[in-house]
Structure 1
């Protein structure tokens, strides 16, 4: 009998949910796994294998630091950006409660920030929730109006994961600092897509993710500025790793992978983004032929790799089912189980009907012209088919 062949994989346009691990990154990770490789615990300082593993961790720490203009000593390894967000908000607010109990954030932050802020409210902290403009941005003037003498921390994301909106980090950080507050940003979607320089942008805390940047899942980092006023209380205890801010045996292979992935993002950011901008323009031009399209992503101050679109007269869940050969999402992967429309779209004032009709398309390093053209054919056919019954009535 002939060997059955696997069905072709869907065209992947969900890079904002996760990116594939680059093969060059995977090869680096493989060096730190098996008995004939550098598998040792990087905290084992009594033998050479441990030292070599530690060297790999420190090299990756420098690679990540270089990508954002930081000192390697300011990088704290975590299990991902979600943990980094939790450590930044909860760890900072608890450590600095004598300075004030007030946190400022926005209603369209990633759930890792939104849910952490809500948990802090249950601990007695006060949170001011900013509502962004239609483009998803928070203005410095809007932030200033929310700041108080007891504001301890401001947390506003660099790039929104559903809209692709880019905030002005320097202007927001300067505004926060004028009131004596520290500034944190979730930059999980930002690495390699916008310029990041924590010193120039005056960021105090920055959350980072490997798997949004062609690295492995399960590893991330928190940048913590080396300054007496920037203190973070540990959430995970046991061993005092990472200068007492995050205990736990470090996953050398994942950390090495994150370091390599970030180094590659730094090297290839310009060409990658230029090509992705061309793909995005090709995609949007093709959508014009479908008709009844509303682009939720901002025309200005946005990254080209995320395009959020509403299709008039079509339910997004029904459209997803009709697009089985296309891997896209209705919004954040962390919220995709919900039948409610995206809280981000509703938060920027998108009418509920259009929010229910919206899909997020996101492109990356391995997206091709053919992928875009094939996706457009599938979308055109699916949308036409779903609109046809309504038109008949």
Structure 2
């Protein structure tokens, strides 16, 4: 299945069971890769064995991180504190600026809704790009019911936000400017620091959805000048169900909570802290902090190998926004004359890929992202997103290309 990195020391709590668990994971990957290819890392990356190992240790010991009367609670709290530091270190933040959530969607909702509701009464405009994730665009739309005006910033055919249009729309009436650092469908990397500087110059609260950015390159709260970030574990070989919203101390105001309860996470996000999941996110961040500089070029090389393999098998395709800086693992292509949905169905159960964001699965109609960059509905229906990552192998890529070519041929014969 390719190499992985073991960063943290192994606690020998249950050595036999733990070794068997990791062996089962490795065996499953090896068996799967013989007859299938997982090319949907941007939807959810496989859990790294080192992450699984650390989570297994945390699950083996009971304890609520908010229980202050006994050692089990203290141990859980310590594990959460370590994870908070690991997340903070990855994004150049302080641990007390990190608030754990159920994932990036909740983090985005907290940032957009919470920051808008805390804004001065004179600020009633929300600016988002036309290619934002729905966990940004939908809360922004919902704020219209509370007297806010939401505006979508246009993007060019290159998938980048029009900075001149952003400058024209920024003034001291803007409450929140929210941008996605790396697009989840086409992989475009935005000039985040430049946009944040424009937003902060007029006193707006600047939120950055960095969900896909962690795997794409360094994420730096301070260097970007953002007031908040949204993160998710399962995009970086961590577990599903946990993420974080990072709120800078120097933000112009603190977001209000959007849910209420026990007062955990300094009152910003109530609910029992899922210690094992937080541990998993922390270890995933630790792995990426140590190995990301080496891993990302390897992933980009594997993306190129996938592109070359498709060409070698006679597949005709056009890479979306080919000249724009993109996520190293994202290969978004248009396959002229190919029904993308039908193609992915024909590829089952051998190749996992996507026509777009998993969070828009089930929504009828062309991708809003592809329409925003100037594609027609028919062109958008010919697009597939392949995404590779840490464990992708050359054999997987070649196998996938052969299967894709065969499925396209069968579709055209039909």
Does TM-score exceed 0.5, indicating one fold? yes
Measured in 2, the distance between the counterparts of 1:292 and 1:260 equals 40
Determine if the alignment matches structure 1 residue 301 to structure 2 residue 315: no
Match of 1:159 in 2: 182
Are residue 271 (structure 1) and residue 294 (structure 2) matched? yes
Q: Answer whether contact 1:193 1:303 (CA < 8 A) is retained.
A: yes
Q: For 1:356-367, what aligned pairs fall within 5 Å after superposition? A: 356-367=381-392
Range with greater deviation from structure 2 (7-16 or 196-205): 7-16
Higher helix share: 2
Alignment partner of 2:51 out of 7, 10, 25: 25
**Which of the numbers 307, 316, 320 marks the counterpart of 1:284?**
307
Q: Which moved more, 1:73-82 or 1:230-239?
A: 230-239
Q: What residue in structure 1 maps to residue 271 of structure 2?
A: 248
TM-score (norm 1): 0.94
Q: Deviations over 1:146-172 (max 9, x none)?
A: 212210110000100000100111100
Say whether 1:323 aligns with 2:344.
no
Q: Could you tell me which residue of structure 2 aligns to residue 218 of structure 1?
A: 241
2:42 aligned residue:
16
Which residue pairs with 1:378 in the alignment?
403
Q: Is the 8 A contact 1:165 1:298 kept in 2?
A: no
Cα deviation digits, residues 13-63 of structure 1 (max 9, x gap): 0000001111110111112223xx2x2111111111111111110110000
Alignment correspondent of 1:350: 375
- Equivalent residues in 2 for 1:222-233, closer than 5 Å: 222-227=245-250, 229-233=252-256
Contact 1:153 1:183 in 2 (8 A): yes
Q: Distance in 2 between matches of 1:132 and 1:45?
A: 50
> Is 1:335 aligned to 2:355, yes or no?
no
Q: Distance in 1 between matches of 2:198 and 2:93?
A: 21
Q: CA deviation at 1:188?
A: 0.6
In the aligned structure 2, how far is the partner of 1:139 from the partner of 1:68? 26
Whether 1:122 and 2:141 are equivalent positions in the alignment is no
Deviation of the 1:97 alpha carbon: 4.3
Taking structure 2 as the reference length, what is the TM-score of the superposition?
A: 0.89
> Quick check: 1:80–1:218 contact (8 Å CA) kept in 2?
yes
RMSD: 1.7
CA contact (8 A) 1:77 1:220 kept: yes
Deviation at 1:291, TM superposition (A): 4.6
Question: Are residues 226 and 291 of structure 1, via their aligned partners in 2, closer, same or farther at CA, if it must alter by over 3 Å?
Answer: same
The Cα shift of 1:299 comes to: 2.6
Q: For residue 272 of structure 2, give the secondary structure of its aligned residue in structure 1.
A: coil
Paired residues in the alignment total: 382
CA contact under 8 A between 1:297 and 1:307: conserved in structure 2? no
CA distance in 2, matches of 1:334, 1:294: 24
Q: Which stretch has the larger CA shift, 352-361 or 133-142?
A: 133-142
Contact kept, 8 Å, 2:114 with 2:258, in 1: the verdict is yes
Alpha-carbon offset, residue 217 of structure 1: 0.7
Secondary structure in structure 1 of the residue aligned to 2:215: coil
Pair 1:228–1:268, CA change in 2 (3 A): closer
Deviation for aligned residue 1:382:
1.4
**Correspondence for 1:197:** 220
Displacement of 1:10: 3.0
Residue 124 of structure 2 corresponds to residue 98 of structure 1: no
